[in-house]
């Protein structure tokens, strides 16, 4: 014997709500797919720039030989690029390997006072091993102003005094943490502009 369960008629309001909900899911899915494609396009463009400029084989563990105004220094690539979003991170990322200024021996030439550059390297080593933003190294009074100028110019502490962490490489992690589609879209538009400038 079959139980007679009464059928509840769907009210027009519920039907409309169901349609709106379905349309919202479809729109969200389409926006997600579009953002995913844009992220892939950004990553592909970055890879193309890296390949074009000879950095396809760049590794974080590479030892970089530097001619700092006549003084020979060495540093690992991951030390020079430790502050994300800095000029050094861009310069030594591998994306510009064939474009970097070199001396007649092929050594990368840096036009910074060696005393200042050694302090910059000291700071980068501290950033690399610290869990927090380390203080700037102490510099004698004759070099203090120019040292702070280089720190600011190279964007080694970001505009607000904190380490800068936004890079094209981190776009995937960043967009995963950005809540709104509009915020993600704006972030990726900014990354595209950076790539346009690079190209």
Q: Do 188 and 118 share a domain, yes or no? A: no
Does 31 reside within a domain? no
Q: Indicate whether 173 and 144 sit together in one domain.
A: no
Report the phi/psi class of residue 160: left, alpha or beta, with left for phi > 0 and alpha for psi in -120 to 50: alpha
pLDDT at residue 45, as a whole number: 81
pLDDT in tens, the chain (199 residues): 555 555 555 677 788 888 888 888 888 888 888 888 888 888 888 777 766 766 667 888 999 999 999 999 999 999 999 998 899 998 898 887 888 899 999 999 999 999 999 999 999 999 999 888 889 999 999 999 999 999 999 999 865 455 544 444 443 444 444 456 666 666 667 666 666 665 5
User: Is the residue at 185 inside a domain?
Assistant: yes
Are 85 and 109 members of one domain?
Answer: yes
Dihedral in degrees, nearest 10, Cα atoms 124, 130, 134, 138: -60
Tokens of 26: 């479809």
Pair (88, 148) in one structural domain: yes
CATH number at residue 90: 3.30.710.10
- 126/82 Cα distance (integer angstroms): 10
- pTM beyond cutoff 0.85: no
Looking at the fold, whether 193 and 116 belong to one and the same domain comes out as no
Edge-to-edge strand order for the sheet containing 63-68? 71-76, 63-68, 108-110
Is the same domain home to 138 and 75?
yes
Q: Is 86 domain-assigned? A: yes
75 and 148 assigned to the same domain: yes
* 158: in domain: no
Residue 2 lies in a domain: no
- Total number of domains in the chain: 2
Are 87 and 136 in the same domain? yes
Rounded Cα–Cα distance for residues 60 and 53 (Å): 17
- Long-range CB pairs of 69-77 (<8 Å, 24+ gap) are 69/110, 69/111, 69/112, 69/113, 69/114, 70/114, 71/114, 71/117, 72/107, 73/114, 73/117, 73/118, 73/121, 75/121, 75/124
Residue 67: inside a domain: yes
Residue 160 lies in a domain: no
Domain of 191? 168-199
Clarify whether residues 106 and 130 are in a common domain: yes
Same domain, 144 and 184: no
What's residue 167's pLDDT? 41
pLDDT value, residue 71: 95
- The answer on 147 and 82 residing in a single domain is yes
Both 140 and 103 in one domain: the answer is yes
């Amino acid at each position: 014997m079959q139980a007679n369960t009464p059928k509840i008629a769907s009210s027009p309001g519920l039907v409309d709500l169901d349609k709106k909900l379905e349309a919202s899911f479809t729109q969200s899915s389409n926006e997600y797919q579009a953002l995913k494609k844009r992220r892939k396009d950004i990553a592909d463009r970055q890879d193309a720039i890296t390949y074009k400029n000879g950095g396809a084989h760049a590794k974080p563990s590479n030892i970089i030989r530097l001619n700092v105004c006549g003084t020979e220094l060495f540093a690992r690539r991951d030390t020079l690029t430790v502050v994300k979003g800095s000029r050094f991170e861009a310069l030594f990322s591998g994306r510009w390997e064939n474009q970097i200024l070199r001396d007649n021996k092929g050594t990368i030439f840096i036009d910074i006072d060696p005393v200042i550059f050694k302090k910059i390297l000291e700071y980068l080593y501290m950033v690399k091993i610290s869990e927090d933003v380390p203080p700037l190294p102490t510099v004698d009074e004759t070099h203090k102003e120019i040292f702070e100028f280089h720190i600011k110019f190279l964007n080694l502490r970001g505009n607000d005094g904190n380490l800068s962490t936004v890079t094209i490489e981190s776009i995937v992690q960043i967009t995963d943490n950005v809540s709104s589609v509009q915020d993600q879209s704006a972030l990726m538009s900014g990354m595209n502009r950076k790539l346009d400038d690079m190209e």
